[in-house]
Amino acid sequence: MSYNDSTGSWSLGLAEVWVRATIELVDAMLGAEPPPEPLSPIGRAARTATDAALVAVGRPSADGGVRLSVLAGQDHRAIRRVAGRDSLVSRVFTASANRISPDPVAAGVLDGTSACPRGLGSTALLTVADDRVVPAVLVLVRYAADPPFGEEHLALLRRLVDHGAALAALRQQVEAERVRAVADDRERIANGLRAAVLPELIAVGLALQNTVTIARNSMVRRRMLQVAARIDGAAGSLRSLVFGLEGMSR
């Protein structure tokens, strides 16, 4: 977060707050071992389908909703720096490295206009980004062939899109104001982040833990519990960062 004396305005710098939690989230997901080979033909098809990915940027629209758009080259390069050139994240992009065509079914699931094909797994990469900063939230969600498991993940992904839009709106609100009282503004920002972001992150981690209990495959359940625990750890890290920001104002 920085203050511009010439314009009398604040730059919130969401990346400063989010980058550590972002890296932890990406590491948790990419570091998880893939689920064992399913026994059923549908399960085997779902395992293959997880190689496909959807990349979407959630930005607030004029009516207050979220518009999903294609990831631009600038964000693509930032993601490669965070996730690694040879990671699954990098492999979802086309050779042009500037544009990727999202899967229409997956896109429909995200915006609520279509349902997830039962029994089909997928990988969804969600990034909530601002044109001027490193992508603030990068979450790789791989859900298993168990249909209830996948549907629950889609619900979590939609919630992440929603709170990403809230974060973008908060950034715009802060940058639009000319702040005079430094300490008061820092406290307001910290309180806003804590109220809008932390409950959502913690809820996502808890919901993921609750979801894995319905997975029939014990090995899938065990691995996903490990990932869920690391997500909770990332949420705790972000909570510490926000509380630290609040402490700076005192």
Q: Which tens digits make up the pLDDT trace of 12-58? A: 333 232 333 333 333 333 333 444 443 333 333 333 322 222 223 33
Residue 105 contacts residue 201 (beta carbons within 8 Å): no
Rounded to two decimals, the pTM is 0.24
In this predicted model, which residue has the larger pLDDT, 104 or 176?
Answer: 176
Residue 178 is classified by DSSP as -
- The pLDDT assigned to 57 comes to 31
Give the max Cα distance, the chain. 65
Which of the four pLDDT bands, split at 50, 70 and 90, describes residue 188? low
d(CA 169, CA 79): 22
Q: Looking at the predicted structure, is the pLDDT value of residue 139 above 50?
A: no
Please list, in sequence order, all residues whose beta carbon lies within 8 angstroms of the beta carbon of residue 70, skipping any fewer than 6 positions away: 55, 56, 57, 99, 100, 101, 102
126, 142 Cβ separation under 8 angstroms? no
Residue the block writes with tokens 């699931």 = 109
pLDDT band for position 236 (cuts 50, 70, 90):
low
Residue linked to tokens 């990915």:
53
The SS3 assignment for 68 reads strand
